[in-house]
Structure formats: C-alpha cells, structure tokens
Amino acid sequence: MKARLPKGYGGGGASNLQQLARQAQKLQEQMNQTTAELEEKEYTAASGGEAVKATVTGKMEVKALTIKPEVVDPDDVDMLADLVIAAVNEALRAAAADKSEQMEKLSGGLNMPGLF
C-alpha cells in the first residue's frame, strides 16, 4: 500500500529544497550584514553618577574609558576599580542586548543555537 500526502504537500521536493536553501542563504546574508553593522556601533554606560564612563564596540571591545579626576582617590583604589567594572559591564550588556534583539528580528524569534 502506498501512502498519499494531502493535496498541496510533496510533489515538489527538489524545488522546495532549493527554495528553502535560497531563503536560508538570504537570511544568512542579512545576519552577516546586521552583524557587521552592529560591530561598528558604540555603546556607552556610566557608573558612580557619571564619574566613570565606558564605551565599547559591538565587537565587545573597550574603546574608551573616561574617569573624572575627583573620583581618583589613592586611598580608595578599590572603589574606582568597582566603578570601572560596573560601567564596562553595563556597556557590554547593552551591546549584547542590542545584538540579541536585532538577530531575533531577523530570525522571527526562531531559536537557532550556534547561528549567532
């Protein structure tokens, strides 16, 4: 006995695969373009009431770090280090969140592990 598919299913196996491959290629090209654009963006965050500002790129690299002179206290280096860490981490979180949001828009919310 031969199984039959409902009308509209099957029959175009090779062409359906080609269409799917074209769609996947187009999505990959869009993702590559978006990734390149995101890598050029800069994200800035501050801590300690703007005492420390960190700027990172979409490549997750620190580009700039600004420290107001009045927060540099030789007797409290640990506080300054904490402010720097907080500012850098917040800027990195902003970059990662933006990338995640942009990629989710492209993928239509599909979860594709390892793709981005």
User: Is residue 89 a part of any domain in this protein?
Assistant: yes
pLDDT digits (tens, 9 = 90+) for 87-115: 999 999 999 999 999 888 887 766 555 55
Judge whether 26 lies within some domain: yes
pLDDT value, residue 20? 84
Residue 112 included in any domain: no
Let me know if residue 5 belongs to a domain.
Answer: no
Residue 100 sits in a domain of what CATH number? Answer: 3.30.1310.10
- 2 is a domain residue: no
> Model's pTM, two decimal places?
0.70
For residue 70, is it within any domain?
Answer: yes
Within-domain flag for 91: yes
Sequence-separated (6 or more) residues with CB below 8 Å from residue 60: 92, 95, 96
The total of structural domains in the chain comes to 1
Q: Quick: pLDDT tens for 19-28.
A: 888 888 888 8
